[in-house]
């Protein structure tokens, strides 16, 4: 079974803090994604990566950066967390010809 | 532009009723994938089905069935004899064959009332 894990299910951070969300997949997938999910807005793509050290902006990259130093790990970084970044963050990976596999999500609250 | 529309924001049905969730998509690609995912209250998205644009055959899996019609750019999902465990948010999605981009609808929240 493909497994996508995320470092935390729940996270509470203060405004201005630097926040790291980690995602690891175990299926040697090339592509990995970070989404945020907000009520009424569905899933919005923040960044994706199609290879190590490669990244592409999604629909809402502002305020975020990513890092992919190893194939299995894709990190989302909030350089200076703000309250409007309170959301559910979902990581996914994709292998050729298959569906996206999602992690359990991290519910981030910025106070 | 690629786009997925799920016009139904919320649906409530009484247990054992049938329910259809609508999905309409737009794409400039001639080949693509379509998906349905279920998100129960626990939060993790669960894959339900993937359909290649070449294959317009309808599919049935137990109480679930999917109707793919390229002519109307629709990929609708029907649950027959709904159960309380079907209560969840359901997302329709579209992807390029490269897997570099996935486009999700805004989701339909289904509540099945016992």
C-beta atoms surrounding A73 within 10 Å: 14
Q: Is beta strand B64-69 parallel, antiparallel or unpaired with respect to B10-14?
A: unpaired
Q: Which of B99, B100, B101, B103 to mutate to test the interface with A (most CBs of A within 10 A)?
A: B99
Residues from chain A contacting residue B34 (CB–CB below 8 Å): none
Is it the case that residue B99 has pLDDT exceeding 80?
A: no
pLDDT tens across the length of chain A (111 residues): 668 999 999 999 999 999 999 999 998 898 999 999 998 888 999 999 999 999 999 989 999 999 999 999 999 999 999 999 999 999 999 877 677 889 999 999 999
Q: Does A100 touch chain B (CB under 8 A)?
A: yes
Give the tens place of pLDDT for each residue, B43-87: 889 999 999 898 888 888 899 999 999 999 999 999 999 999 999
* Residue of A41, A56, A99 lying closest to B35 (CB–CB): A99
Q: Tens digits of per-residue pLDDT, B8-31? A: 999 999 999 999 999 999 999 888
Of B35, B42, B106, Cβ closest to residue A40: B106
Cβ neighbours of B113 (radius 10 Å)? 11
The pLDDT confidence band at residue B7, using thresholds 50, 70 and 90, is: very high
A77 close to A19: Cβ distance less than 8 angstroms: yes
Terminal Cα-to-Cα distance of chain A (whole angstroms):
37
């Amino acid at each position: 079974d493909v497994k996508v894990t995320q470092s935390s299910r729940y996270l509470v951070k203060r405004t201005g803090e630097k926040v790291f969300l980690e995602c690891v997949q175990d299926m040697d997938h090339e592509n990995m994604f970070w989404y945020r999910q907000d009520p009424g807005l569905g899933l919005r793509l923040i960044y994706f990566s199609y290879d190590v050290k490669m990244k592409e902006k999604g629909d809402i990259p502002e305020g975020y950066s990513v890092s992919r130093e190893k194939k299995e790990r894709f990190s989302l970084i909030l350089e200076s967390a703000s309250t409007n970044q309170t959301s559910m963050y979902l990581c996914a990976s994709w292998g050729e010809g298959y569906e996206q596999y999602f992690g359990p999500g991290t519910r981030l609250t910025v106070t | 532009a690629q786009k997925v529309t799920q016009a139904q924001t919320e649906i409530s049905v009484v247990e054992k009723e049938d329910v259809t969730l609508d999905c309409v998509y737009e794409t400039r690609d001639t080949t693509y994938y379509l998906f349905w995912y279920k998100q129960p209250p626990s939060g993790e998205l669960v894959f339900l089905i993937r359909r290649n644009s070449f294959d317009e055959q309808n599919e049935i899996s137990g109480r679930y069935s999917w109707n793919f019609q390229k002519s109307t750019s629709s990929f609708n999902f029907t649950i027959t004899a709904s159960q309380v465990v079907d209560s969840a948010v359901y997302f329709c999605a579209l992807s390029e064959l490269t897997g570099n981009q996935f486009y999700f609808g805004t989701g339909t929240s289904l509540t099945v009332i016992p």
